[in-house]
Amino acid sequence: MEKQNWKPLSRQGVRARMGICSDLHVCGSYPSREKLHAVFSAFHQLDPLMDAAAFVGDLTDFGTKEQYAYLGKLIQENAADGIPAQLIYCIGNHDTFQLGTEHAQERFARQTGQQPEELVWVGGIPVIKLAANQTAEEDYTDSYSFLKESLREAASKAPGLPILVLAHHGIQGTAYGTDKWYGNYGEGTEKNLVELMRQYPQIIHISGHSHATLEDERSIDQHLGFTAIQDGTAGAYFENETGKIDPETGEPASVPPYGPEACQALVVDVLCSGKVIIHRLNMTAGRSCGPAWEADVPALKADKKNGFSYLPARKGAAPVFPKGVQTKLRKVGEQAITVTFPRAFAGDGDSCSMVHSYCIRLLPEGAGVPFCRWIFADYYRREQRAEWCVRINLEQKLLGRWYAQVRAATSFGQLSSPLRSEKVLLNADK
């Protein structure tokens, strides 16, 4: 990875500062050594005195002793350049793969020297670690009593401060990616951890597992009455929603282009006032993922109904294409076409206006059934491509003249005006 230069963050008014990331997948198919170094380097440059670093599960790719040992070696390598004094580890589903959930927690404790579930303190800030139970890698219902007691203790000892809850799996239907990748938090049962957390608006729940891109503003959600965040991935690959295609191959893809480059993390500042500032880092691009998020804990506790602003109804402006540009449709053999079009841009400076994807619609001049394909934009890369050439595989032979219509879309459904190609004869209609 390229050398990074991060501007130091001020410590003025900061009570505690934590670096947080997940999904290292050490010894997997990705350069975990280089990526972990990039994470620690960013943390150190931003604040050499950072209070702690937390890793929210999937420390390893398979949970073997050798992989844990290699993780320890990587930690020691980075310690020479400076790492936070307090390291916090959570267990993830990949950390259970060799032994299964029943015995993986014992290995986790032996290898990390930490318990899978515990309440720890960082600069006076309570941090609660959750672990899925020992019979199912995504089920947290057995953690109900532990969470209940830990929340009671945390709220009693730190009444005006946030409570961080770290768990590898997200809560369904909250932060970006949790519609598909989520844990069982006991909704609809007597052990409903979600309802329990709703009693504490000061909670900041941070999860991994989804590998979704942090630039997407849906990565933070407060509609349940507390804050839920997904932290991307530090060591693996991006994976967003289904329903898209790979622009090079035309095959279905939930992994966006250049997804294996992924290396993202959070820096969470808790101010003396109780306010929380969440910085988003993209180590591959060497920049932030967007403006910092804020959660004013005293205000949220004072106004549980109106204090939350990161809600599904966020909007932003529609994307725009440069003036005077066109899209082109070209036949590629009998079973595919390509559609070429320029990059679109955000309609304004609001981070909710980011161009997230493109809809490519194919329409016939006469008889025929229109259809569309979607691709992800490459908003997470250091340099975004100026022009797209997207392959679309055809399920059947298209007869007659067809044209393409391309629209750019935001994460919140705002669509640009369409770009239209000229009509092209794909196959003669005999």
Q: Which amino acid is located at 144 in the chain?
A: Y
Same domain? 88 vs 42: yes
Q: Are residues 127 and 275 in the same domain?
A: yes
User: Other C-beta atoms within 10 Å of 300: how many?
Assistant: 25
In a domain, 88, yes or no: yes
Q: What is the mean pLDDT of the chain?
A: 95
pLDDT (average), residues 47-61: 98
Residues 399 and 258 in one domain: no
pLDDT band at 170 (very low <50, low <70, confident <90, very high): very high
Rounded Cα distance between 95 and 36, Å, is 17
Is there a domain that residue 414 lies in? yes
**Tell me: the pLDDT tens digits for 368-382?**
899 999 999 999 999
Residue 200 has pLDDT above 80, yes or no: yes
CA gyration radius for the chain?
A: 23
Does 404 lie in the same domain as 268?
no
d(CA 69, CA 58): 14
Q: What is the mean pLDDT of residues 333-345?
A: 95
Distance from C-alpha of 71 to C-alpha of 39, rounded to nearest angstrom: 14
- Asked if the structure places residue 225 within a domain, the reply is yes
73 and 194 part of one domain: yes
Band of the pLDDT at 326, cuts 50, 70, 90? very high
Q: Is residue 371 one of the residues assigned to a domain?
A: yes
Examine the domain organization and report whether 187 and 266 are in the same domain: yes
Q: Are residues 35 and 160 in the same domain?
A: yes
Q: Which of 267, 302, 337 is the last residue of a domain?
A: 302
User: Which DSSP state fits 62?
Assistant: S
Residue 126 covered by a domain: yes
Tell which phi-psi region holds residue 105, choosing left (phi > 0), alpha (psi between -120 and 50) or beta: alpha
Residue 4 lies inside a defined structural domain of this protein: no
Report the percent of the chain where pLDDT is more than 70.
99
- State yes or no: pLDDT of 136 exceeds 80: no
The pLDDT tens digits for 101-130 are 779 999 999 999 999 999 999 999 999 999
Please give the helix or strand (H or E) that residue 292 lies within, else none: none
If asked whether residues 138 and 245 sit together in one domain, one would say: yes
Phi, psi of 251 (to 5 degrees): -85, 155
Q: Which residues pair with 164 in a beta bridge?
A: 127, 204
Taking 80 as the threshold, does the pLDDT of residue 42 lie above it? yes
Domain match, 298 and 356 both: no
Whether the predicted pLDDT of 2 surpasses 90:
no
Quote the pLDDT of residue 429. 63
Average pLDDT over residues 143-172: 98
Q: Which residue has the tokens 């191959």?
A: 249
Number of folded domains in the chain?
2
Let me know if residue 131 belongs to a domain.
yes
pLDDT at 148: 99
- 426 φ, ψ (degrees, to nearest 5): -85, -45
**Is the distance from CB of 339 to CB of 360 less than 8 angstroms?**
yes
CATH number, domain containing residue 376:
2.60.40.10
**pLDDT value, residue 96:** 94
pLDDT in tens, 236-266: 999 999 999 999 999 999 999 999 999 999 9
Cβ–Cβ < 8 Å for 296, 278: no
Structural domain boundaries, residue 371: 328-427
Spatial contact of 152 and 200, defined as CB atoms under 8 Å apart:
no
What's the CATH code of the domain at 104?
3.60.21.10
* pLDDT tens-place string over residues 266-301: 999 999 999 999 999 999 999 999 999 999 999 998
Strands (E), 91-161: 118-122, 125-129
The residue out of 286, 302, 318 marking a domain boundary is 302
If asked whether residues 164 and 81 sit together in one domain, one would say: yes
Mark whether 398 and 274 lie in a shared domain: no
Residue 376 host element (H or E): strand 371-376
Residues 76 and 131 in one domain: yes
- 199 occurs within a structural domain: yes
- In this prediction the pTM is 0.96
